[in-house]
Amino acid sequence: MLQAEKIKSNWEQFRKEIDAFFPTRAAQLHKMYDELEDRIVMMPASSIAHFHNAFAGGYVDHILRVMDCAKNLYATWQSSGADMSGYTVEELMFAAMHHDLGKVGFPGDGNEVYQVETSDWHRKNQNKMYRHNENIPFTMVPDLSIWLLQEYDVKLSWNEYQAIKIHDGMYDDANKPYYVARTAQAKLKTNLPIILHHADHMAAQIEFERWRNKDKETVKPVQEKSKVTKNNGLKNLAENNPDVERTLTDIFKAFNGE
C-alpha cells in the first residue's frame, strides 16, 4: 500500500524533475500537469496486479523509477564505452518521464483510461484491479502520449518522439523495423530508444517482483468518502471499493499539510 505521504512526496518529486531537466519547457509542462493533476496523482500504472503498480499512485511511482533506471543505465553504457553522442540527457529524461503519458487518457472529465474494477470475480480470479474506459477511443499508449504533448504545446525533438513511440521494443510488432535492421543505414542512430526500453522493462520487473514477494507497498483502489474530488476521473478511480483501508480524505489532508 502506498501511504498518503508517499503519494504526496512522489508527486512533489515528479514536479521538481520538470524544473531540473526541462527548464525551457517547464511552463508548458506544468500547465499540462496542473490540469491533469487530480487524475494523475491517483492513477495506477497498469490494470492488473501482477503486471506492475496496479494501485493508486502507481503511475507516478513507476515514472520516477523509470527515470532513475534510465540515469543508471546511461551511466553504465557510458562507462562501458558506448557511443553516447547524438542525443542529450535532457532528451533521455524527457522520454522517460513521458513514455506512458497516454495512460492518462484524454483531457476532460470522464475521459480517463483506468476505472476501478467493481467485479469481485475479476479482482479475485484475474487480479484485475482496474478496467479500461470503454467510452474513449482506442489508442496505443505511445500515440496518445505524443498527441497529448502536442495538445498542450509541448515541443519534443525527433529523438524524444522516436524513443516514446518505440519504447515498448519488440513487445510491439510495429517496432520491429526499428530494432531489426537489415542494413547499417537502417540501424538506430542513437542508443536512446534502447536505454529507455531497458529502463522501462527494468522498472516494471522490479515492480512485479515486489508484488510477487509481497514486499511492495500494495494498495487497493480507494473509496471516496469526501467531496474533495474535482473531476469524474478521480471519482471513478475511487468509488465502489468495499475493502479499502484508507480514504481520499487521507490523501488530500496530506497534500494540504493537515
Condensed to tens digits (0 to 9), the pLDDT of residues 121-155 reads 887 777 777 888 899 999 999 999 999 999 999 99
Q: What is the DSSP string of 79-100?
A: HTT---TTS-HHHHHHHHHHTT
Q: Looking up cell 480524505, which residue turns up?
A: 249
Candidate from 11-20, 63-72, 182-191 with smallest mean pLDDT: 182-191
Domain spans, the chain: 4-255
Global pTM reads: 0.81
b/e map 99-109, b = 16+ CB within 10 Å:
bbbbbbbbeee
Q: How confident is the model at residue 200 (pLDDT cuts 50, 70, 90)?
A: very high
Out of 22-26, 66-70, 109-113, 230-234, pick the least confident.
230-234
Asked if the model's pLDDT at residue 194 lies above 70, the reply is yes
Count of all residues that appear for the chain in the document: 258
Is 103 within 8 Å of 43 (Cβ atoms)?
A: yes
Q: What is the mean pLDDT of residues 28-50?
A: 92
| Phi-psi map region of 57: left, alpha, beta (phi>0 left; psi -120 to 50 alpha) | left
Contact between residue 131 and residue 47 where contact means Cβ atoms under 8 Å apart: yes
Q: Considering the chain, what is the average pLDDT of its residues?
A: 85
What is the rounded CA–CA span in Å between residue 66 and residue 206? Answer: 10
Identity of residue 34: D
> Higher-confidence residue: 233 or 62?
62
- pLDDT tens string 114-128: 887 677 888 777 777
DSSP state of 48: B
Using a 10 angstrom Cβ sphere, with 0-12 exposed, 13-18 middle and 19 or more buried, the burial of residue 158 is: exposed
Q: What sign does the CA torsion over 44, 47, 49, 52 have?
A: negative
